[in-house]
Structure 1
Amino acid sequence: MNFKNIFLILGLLLTMSCKAPTDVFKIEGKNININDSLQSIASIEDFIKPYRENINRDLDSILAYSVDTYSKSDGHLNTAIGNLMADVIYEEADPVFFKRTGEHIDFVLMNHGGIRSIISKGPISKRTAFELMPFENSIVISKLPGANVKELLDYLVRAKRAHPISKLKIILDKDGQMIESAVNQIPIDFNKTYYVATNDYLINGGDGMDFFKGSEEVFVLDYKIRNALIDYFMKTDTINPVADDRFIQLKD
């Protein structure tokens, strides 16, 4: 036997020894619907009961009082509840942003669909904040060039929807064309950049807000919107938000 044949035989042996096992396993599964028909287990219920009661006590602790019931369907271009949400974000996030950067937030833009509940007349609790914002959305700040701010305004004019805004003013004529835009009562300069507070869903183009993709820089505050609401409610005895003239359309 020559060396060529020896190497061939060794190669075949190595190939056979490295061959993967051919066993086939069959895995089956089935859906189990979780509903009221499933019986609770007493030992588990007894274990989690004190935790549940403690969480419910915390969620139901009274923080403030609402003088009326507020809904996001109450108005056309701005609503009391939307104005409250945007103003709270500005008030609670601006000190955090300034402490970290030395800059102030110029204005706030959130989305109408992000308001997930009403605020009912009467006591306000932590549960109210969780109902308003059940998602884990956090506040972020976009350093937005003037050209993209123009796109932002065009978006709001086209949408004609009560997206929550704060420190931003938009006036439309009777035909729906924008005739005035300002930040903190100063006309917008499209050659400047502006610091815009929004959330981590919209900053990535959520709800078609693609203008945020042009951000020169994004600042993540690690501050959830829900926590900002709770912080505001804890220091505010009574809330009485109103729809105002921050986004309006003239009739004549």
Structure 2
Amino acid sequence: MKNFLLLLYGITLLSFSSCGEEKNNSSDPLQVSKIEGKQLSVKKSLTEDEEIKSFIDPYKNRIKGEMNMVLSYTGETLSKSDGEYNTAIGNMMADAVMEFANPIFKTRTGNTIDGVLLNHGGIRSKINRGDITTQTAYNIMPFENEAVVVALKGRQVLKMFEYLSRSKRAHPISGMQLILNFKNQIKTARVQGKKIDPSKTYYIVTNDYLMEGGDNMKFFSQRESETFIDYKLRNIFIDYFKKYDTIQPVRDERFIKE
């Protein structure tokens, strides 16, 4: 293996040296005259390079062990298709963000988080009944999105609720309630159990993708400020699973249609 690498290195040096000499002996720019290639098919008969395998295996086994580490348990399979307006898995994710982001935000700013808004499309996998592992957290949130607290005036929060009423998707929320009538019009819109004051500032946790207008959430562009708390959503879910050895999220009345 080492001899092969040395040979390859020597050939590369000779190639560059030849190019340099040719360029010095001619005033014309170098041009590629021909490109040749050969397809090397990957077959089961190919054998592993034992030297490379022995180098990689310790890292591979360490990662595999960490990803398969059991953190929690659920007695039911949780899927984002389980409800039209709110789902057990979405409620769990939004509540986890509220629970773990709020203490950090309060310590840094003295303010408390009023609500959480995530996106239905951001839930990338279901949680199967049984053991919940670190891999589970990566499955439901494979992206590197991080939590960010956005300051919105009440009038923008009302636009947020209008967006939710039109979306017809179970976007996860926490700390808030939205009830629609049979015409999909807003009947009740509350934050922390209270009617929305258009002039008040509310602190809403979302992720950096949505804050920048992802999923057409343009109301976030009219924010007063944003506070990054250096906490990836995936890490929040991992910490949530570590805290609760059994999770039992349910659908509730936070976002419904009468």
TM class by smaller structure: 0.7 to 0.9
1:195-234 mapped onto 2 (5 Å cutoff): 195-234=203-242
Closer, same or farther: CA 48–248 of 1 in aligned 2, 3 Å: same
Q: Following the alignment from structure 2 to structure 1, what is the Cα–Cα distance between the partners of residues 78 and 215?
A: 23
1:100 pairs, out of 79, 96, 108, with 108
**1:23 to 2:29 alignment:** yes
In structure 1, the residue matched to 2:168 is: 160
Q: How far apart are 1:25 and its partner, in Å?
A: 3.8
Q: What letter matches 2:159 in structure 1? A: E
Closer, same or farther: CA 28–46 of 1 in aligned 2, 3 Å: farther
Q: Following the alignment from structure 1 to structure 2, what is the Cα–Cα distance between the partners of residues 166 and 32?
A: 57
Cα RMSD (Å): 2.2
Q: Following the alignment from structure 1 to structure 2, what is the Cα–Cα distance between the partners of residues 27 and 140?
A: 54
**1:64 to 2:88 alignment:** no
Unaligned runs of 5+ in 1: 1-20
Unaligned runs of 5+ in 2: 1-26
Q: Following the alignment from structure 2 to structure 1, what is the Cα–Cα distance between the partners of residues 246 and 149?
A: 28
Contact map agreement 2:158 2:196 (CA 8 A) in 1: no
When normalised by structure 1's length, the TM-score is 0.86
Q: Following the alignment from structure 1 to structure 2, what is the Cα–Cα distance between the partners of residues 185 and 122?
A: 34
- State the secondary structure of the residue aligned to 1:191: coil
Closer, same or farther: CA 28–132 of 1 in aligned 2, 3 Å: farther
Q: Following the alignment from structure 2 to structure 1, what is the Cα–Cα distance between the partners of residues 36 and 203?
A: 51
**1:184 to 2:168 alignment:** no
Q: What letter matches 1:227 in structure 2? A: N
Closer, same or farther: CA 55–34 of 1 in aligned 2, 3 Å: farther
Q: Following the alignment from structure 1 to structure 2, what is the Cα–Cα distance between the partners of residues 127 and 53?
A: 14
Q: Following the alignment from structure 1 to structure 2, what is the Cα–Cα distance between the partners of residues 152 and 137?
A: 20
Q: What letter matches 1:26 in structure 2? A: V
1:126-141 mapped onto 2 (5 Å cutoff): 126-141=134-149
In structure 1, the residue matched to 2:253 is: 245
Q: For this pair of structures, how many residues does the alignment match?
A: 230
